[in-house]
């Protein structure tokens, strides 16, 4: 009967450990999701903030000088498109 009692205690202990493990795993997953969401919102914020500035401007290939220039227009000195 003592061994049965030990088995019950052991199973309860294992069950408790499993519950704690699951809680930790869920918290870790939530933290990861939250970190990823923060990263995404940061990137969206950065993109929104820098739109219009020259750092993240869309580059297009100039039809005349084949150089990659801002979408607003080619500004190379020796380009026929310029001016
Ligand atoms: Zn050009």
Q: Tens digits of per-residue pLDDT, 62-77? A: 888 888 888 888 888 8
**pLDDT of residue 19 exceeding 90:** yes
What dihedral do alpha carbons 51, 57, 60, 64 form, nearest 10°?
A: 110
Q: Compute φ and ψ for 60, nearest 5 degrees.
A: -125, 155
User: 73 alpha carbon to ligand 1 midpoint, in Å?
Assistant: 8
Assign 73 to helix, strand or coil.
coil
User: 41 alpha carbon to ligand 1 midpoint, in Å?
Assistant: 36
- Put simply, whether the predicted model's pTM sits higher than 0.85 gets the answer no
Write down the pLDDT at residue 28. 92
User: 75 alpha carbon to ligand 1 midpoint, in Å?
Assistant: 7
């Amino acid at each position: 009967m003592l061994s049965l009692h030990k088995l019950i205690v052991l199973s309860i202990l294992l069950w408790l450990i499993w519950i704690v493990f699951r809680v930790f795993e869920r918290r870790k997953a939530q933290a990861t999701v939250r970190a990823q969401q923060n990263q995404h919102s940061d990137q969206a914020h950065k993109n929104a903030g820098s739109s219009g500035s020259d750092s993240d401007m869309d580059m297009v290939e100039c039809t005349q000088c084949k150089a990659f220039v801002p979408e607003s227009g080619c500004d190379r000195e020796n380009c026929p498109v310029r001016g």
